[in-house]
Structure 1
Amino acid sequence: MIEWVSLSTGARPVPRPVATPLVWAAAFGGALALGALLNTLIGTDQPELALLALSLLAALLGLCARFTAAPGTAVLCWFFLNGFGIPPAGTLTWAGHRDTFWLACLLAATLVGTALARLLHARAAYRRIAEGVVATEPGDRPRHF
């Protein structure tokens, strides 16, 4: 008689987020590369497009990061947006409402990415548990939910 036995030891854990310093290194390198690409293609006269591109980068980085990495990721992206996305290039400035808005957009993008990743991972883990095999007495056939 053939008996089907589950080889797994239970539900797979939710993936662990990437370490914060690695996320910040990726934010630094990605924002630098993206800023250089945008300055080459469109120049520094369209900061809204640069904000959108850096917000997408921040959201993508948020998908693999911890919530504690969000402020640093947003600041690093803002640093390159402010320093190289608006004229005069290479000069950091603070323009009150504009920079506050940019920082808020970048922080929100990072937090949305991180929250979305946590939600998707938790949902996948719940499905794995809900669709798994119920432990039974020895000799019984496995039952599914």
Structure 2
Amino acid sequence: MKPPFTKVAVENGRALKSIRKAMFKTKSVHSRIETSDGLRILTARGRGRGLAADRFDVWLANLGPSEGLRDAILAGKISWSEYRRRYLKELLEPGGVDERNQRIKNHGQKFTLRLLQHLATKETVTLLCHCAEDEKHCHRHLLKALLEKKI
């Protein structure tokens, strides 16, 4: 594992402060909870029947795939590459202008994603889903990869 502090601000040859590199992890919400998980965020549209609220710290349903997209991949109607393309589009596409606020646009999930990037510089952020821990085709991996880029 890389050290969490990777950048140092320098002025006149002196280190001023360490800047923590953003740290994201992915896990199944059903996996063992560890202190190293930091902030545990459930990123699924549904909380899950019978799932105890102490399995996650925050539930951000808006970061899960739409129901239609989730149903299409589970039914085998679309490929993983098509799912990936459409899920990332859902996250990043801007919405329409709010009818009550003509000048304020909905920028999709951009602000939520940037907030998560900022939080991950303060503590580890673990992205959770109901998929099995070893599931390679899960939106949480796509979300992690997106969060590790500049948005």
TM norm structure 1: 0.32
Larger radius of gyration: 1
Greater share of residues in helix: 1
Which protein has the bigger strand share? 2
The alignment's TM-score, normalised by the length of structure 2, stands at 0.31
